[in-house]
Chains A and B, each alone.
Chain A
């Protein structure tokens, strides 16, 4: 097996392990992936608690105001909130 194939196999195995992983029952904060966030502001538009603000081009979630309604997760066109 070539080294390139091994690298790809490693990535595929890591993604499969993640897919099989059981999530915790509670999460204290949502996460914004700064790699994926484009600062488009869709999340601020749908948040009913005014808990998200775009600062310096990235969405920032206020941990004291977020109610975990997940509307921002559903609305984000980049899938940057989880």
Chain B
């Protein structure tokens, strides 16, 4: 039934309209490892476009290993997105629906108010977004989303769970350069069955500026945001207000060699106390070469470190070296440290994933790839497993009719 609706929605507008374009795509990934086969995911979609309107239909089916750890959680679900965008002068109207169905084993959700556990079966989420330009410097935006969740207890009682989210704001590109924005969001959750009701809200005051004419060819962007929160967290404490400062620096050191860095500091204003909530930094160095070939080659080295009440870090190398025409050699390696939830392991977990692969690109219309990876991770003891991943991406191009 779901798929019949999707096909009908694609065909009906196209049959009655002239000068309509259709762009489609297919992205499939599959794989498996020495622990289990993971059938993977499929993303198929199409975008119909006409004069002042766009209709986007997207279906994603996923059955995958969600955690990469043992014991594993296998999630199987189907996500359908229908997105209709209408541009009328300076105003854009965007009604949308997202429809998620959890297939197979229903994931468990821990309910608030010590109401036990429920099983997630999916949701339907209609939404409406509006945006417009008051003049060339002032932009307004607003959106509303409503979730009708299908959450059931073991005895099959429906929890009648619903959420709504309303947001909106305005941004002003000042004549002096910086952009100033004020935005707000209000979220409400309720379940009649367990008599639960919670809401929170946030107002953001943001100032952002960027410069491209700095010495050394440096590009800089800076952004500060003060977020004023209303509502309580799961322990019934007030959610602290938050100040976030962010700087992004990018530089082309020599042609084909660029460095990109981001630094972020976050402070919480919690009941009269100001404290550092998080410091984080990220750097990415990219080197492009063999640019004249059918597929350009590239090596990217990136590092990331974040220190808050937890510490996470990541060092990653990824490369594509073109061998002949559309054929390229892939190589990836990643070293990560995160907290872990695996029993008897932790509190931190280090993992190393590395492996080679091959890719073939047929212009911009198709890409097929495969990688063999080994993962080593320290859980209760150091565990090692092999993984095979492969994918197919198709972009047939634009049809006009």
Hey, which bits of chain A sit against chain B, CB under 8 A? 3-4, 7-8, 11, 14-15, 18-19, 21-29, 31, 33, 35-36, 41-42, 45-46, 48-50, 53, 55, 62-71, 73-75, 79, 82
Contacts and interface: CB of A to CB of B under 8 A. Distances in A.
Interface stretch (B14-22, B256-264, B364-372): B256-264
B308 A24 contact: yes
A69 B341 CA distance: 7
A28 B267 CA distance: 10
A28 B242 contact: yes
17 contacts: A4-B253, A28-B242, A31-B266, A33-B280, A35-B262, A41-B79, A48-B108, A63-B239, A64-B198, A64-B199, A64-B232, A64-B239, A65-B112, A66-B233, A73-B338, A74-B69, A74-B341
Instruction: Give the interface SS of chain A, mostly helix, strand, loop or mixed.
Output: loop
Interface of B: 62, 66-69, 73, 75, 79, 107-110, 112, 120, 145, 147, 149, 151, 165, 187, 189, 198-200, 216, 218, 229, 231-234, 239-240, 242, 251, 253-254, 259, 261-264, 266, 268, 270, 275-283, 303-312, 314, 336, 338-341, 349
The 6 closest A-B pairs by CB, nearest first: A82-B306, A27-B309, A79-B314, A70-B339, A28-B240, A45-B66
A7 B68 contact: no
A19 to B, nearest CB: 6
B349 to A, nearest CB: 7
Contacts of B278: 23, 27, 31, 82
Nearest to A67: B234
Contacts of B264: 31, 33
A74 B309 contact: no
A14 B263 contact: yes
A18 B279 contact: yes
A27 B233 CA distance: 12
A23 B69 contact: no
A41 B81 CA distance: 14
A64 B200 contact: yes
A17 to B, nearest CB: 9
Nearest to A43: B66
A82 B305 CA distance: 9
The winner among A4, A24, A48, A73 for most chain B CB atoms within 10 A is A24
Contacts of A82: 278, 280, 306, 308, 310, 312
Contact of B311 (A4, A23, A45, A75): A23
Given A28-B242, A49-B109, A64 B67 contact: no
Contacts of A25: 309
The winner among B110, B268, B336 for most chain A CB atoms within 10 A is B110
Contact of A73 (B79, B110, B312): B312
A19 B189 CA distance: 39
A68 B235 CA distance: 11
A28 B110 CA distance: 20
Contacts of B253: 4, 7-8
A29 B67 contact: no
A55 to B, nearest CB: 7
B314 to A, nearest CB: 4
A64 B150 CA distance: 20
A66 B151 CA distance: 18
A33 B199 CA distance: 24
B305 A18 contact: yes
Contacts of B120: 50
Contact of A14 (B233, B254, B281, B336): B281
A7 B67 contact: no
